[in-house]
Structure 1
């Protein structure tokens, strides 16, 4: 297709755009993309493709850009797509609620470091209660309950060992 056989077609642009509207960078890039596709498909010879690209970057209005790509297939126009909801059947099941006592067990277990072991017993009690409720109700949070239990029992063992050593050392004197 030579430049002499190319006939401009009247403006048919996007809704809301007038031929005299100043072209934005996005408009120019869209026109260049259409030209690239036309060249890649063999619809434009090299020389004409290069001239049209140069004119596209120099275009001031949307109408000028329209004239450059009027004889080429322009593909689908950009449209806003409505996001349709996913049917509930295809959604993953909701995550089970986390047991509140499991959270409390973990907080008390971590708190043994800051409370000098005073929260160790509540951590153990809450941990055992949480694990029972989790099994019965199918709730989440078993890992937190176990962590609270482990930290609580470690603190109980540590302070029991300290007390035993203190008693043994005071009896031995």
Structure 2
């Protein structure tokens, strides 16, 4: 008699085994990871003020002793398991702009053209024996006025041109004065 207890089943047939008894999920045995997930939900609920200290301690000890999914589920049944969904029409909490990442860096400010011209003319005073000094001073003052109104970049260039321009003008004035003194003395 093949297929009975103790004898092998014929080829192609499986030996008889008892049918599994359907077990409700709440009666299934819980693992350590299941208890840890429940503990995490309890910690979050305590941190959010949903549980008192005494209730938190009681539920924590019960979670560590729970053997089934049903016991774990009963500990967190009245608590949200994740982020709460806002009811329809409720305003979302506002995040202050300070904590938001910048979308893009602000574009660089354009440089004032007259400031650039002043710096170039001031630099040329060394090669032109100071003849570009007066134009450097004029363009430098105009550029600084425009920069104050338009908030453009280039103030450093304008100041550089002004310094070299004024040094050139002062040099020419000193040269002229010395020339006049030398010519009047003879």
Instruction: Give the structure with the higher percent helix.
Output: 1
Normalising by structure 2, report the TM-score. Answer: 0.45
* Higher RCO (CA 8 Å, separation ≥ 6 residues): 1
